[in-house]
């Protein structure tokens, strides 16, 4: 079934989508949220303090990171520009299975690539915490992260974030609104982690841990000498039971110290490290923090 004005809708979405270059490790996408230079993308897309942003018309800007949310994998950027073609957002709570959706992004170097599909569902997914996801049967590829998922009227219903099996997962637009209206936190660790159950030699029980896969250069984690392969167990006050616990431990503002417990090689010996938090730029994540 043809949708009246679909070409114009797709073109407007392209103009509201931007390309992000950050950290020299590929590129991602993002959405122009307001005409005065407010931009939204995934936290894991922006890996440097001053990411480079390229708009649809070819203009390039150095963006300022205003805030990041490691828990929901969102980042708020700002560029010095006005009269931008901002997208409009829909109420994601009104989404229903079977609705047509459009994804715009920059996968594998193809700028402004479009994919269409249908909503599969909205809600939490097993293994990904209690957060709600917009789940759509849309083909995404590396470079789509941070870009818009829109309804047939071109209104944003989610920010594309990852692929799980055959489904594209997007952060609901209502979650994005909540992030933008919340007080920012400067909590940053600068690691990519993966949850795992760790065997403990002293018992048959397994302990929840967050395995560090990557450590960003010059991040608080790097300055504290944390390494890939280390396993974060918790703080001195509380053991981690989910990714949300790490994100919660990083919340706050201003210079402060966080005491972490972790394993390195020997599972019988718990190590401790003090991390300095409170730098002006907050770090990555979803599976990053």
73 is catalytic: yes
**In which order are the strands placed within the sheet that holds 52-54?**
60-62, 52-54, 17-21, 27-32, 38-41, 74-78, 64-69
DSSP for 199-231, written as a single string: E-TTSS-EEEEEEEEEE-TTSHHHHTT--TT-E
Q: Per the residue annotation, which of 145, 173, 219, 286 is the catalytic one?
A: 145
Q: Per the residue annotation, which of 29, 44, 69, 72 is the catalytic one?
A: 44
91 is catalytic: no
Helix (H) or strand (E) run with residue 11 in it: helix 6-15
Instruction: Return the structure tokens found at 43.
Output: 């936290």
194 is catalytic: no
DSSP for 154-176, written as a single string: S-EEEEEEEEETTEEEEEEHHHH
Which residues touch 112 (CB under 8 Å, ≥6 apart)? Answer: 14, 17, 56, 104, 106
The CA distance from 168 to 219, in Å, is 30
Q: Per the residue annotation, which of 29, 72, 73, 92 is the catalytic one?
A: 73
Q: What is the CA radius of gyration of the chain?
A: 19
Residues serving a catalytic function are 44, 73, 145
């Amino acid at each position: 079934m043809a949708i009246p004005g679909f070409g114009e809708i797709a073109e407007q979405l392209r103009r509201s989508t931007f390309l992000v270059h950050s950290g020299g490790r590929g590129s991602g996408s993002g959405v122009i949220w307001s005409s005065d230079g407010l931009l939204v993308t995934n936290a894991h897309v922006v890996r440097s303090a001053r990411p480079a942003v390229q708009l649809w018309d070819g203009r390039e800007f150095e963006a300022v990171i205003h805030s990041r949310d490691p828990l929901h994998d969102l980042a708020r950027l700002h560029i010095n520009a006005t009269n931008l073609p901002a997208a409009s957002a829909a109420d994601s709570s009104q989404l229903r299975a079977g609705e047509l959706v459009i994804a715009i992004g920059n996968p594998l170097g193809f700028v402004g690539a479009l994919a269409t599909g249908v909503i599969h569902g909205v809600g939490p997914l097993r293994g990904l915490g209690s957060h709600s996801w917009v789940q759509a049967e849309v083909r995404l590829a590396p470079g789509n992260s941070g870009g818009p998922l829109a309804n047939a009227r071109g209104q944003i219903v989610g920010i594309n974030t990852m692929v799980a099996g055959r489904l594209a997962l997007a952060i609901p637009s209502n979650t994005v609104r909540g992030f933008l209206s919340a007080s920012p936190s400067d909590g940053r660790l600068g690691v990519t982690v993966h949850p795992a159950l760790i065997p403990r030699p002293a018992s048959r029980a397994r302990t929840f841990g967050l395995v560090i896969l990557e450590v960003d250069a010059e991040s608080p984690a790097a300055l504290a000498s944390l390494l890939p392969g280390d396993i974060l167990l918790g703080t001195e006050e509380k053991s981690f039971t989910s990714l949300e616990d790490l994100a919660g431990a990083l919340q706050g503002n201003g210079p402060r110290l966080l005491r972490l417990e972790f394993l390195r090689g020997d599972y019988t010996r718990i190590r401790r490290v003090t991390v300095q938090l409170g730098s002006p730029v907050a770090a990555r994540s979803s599976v990053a923090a």
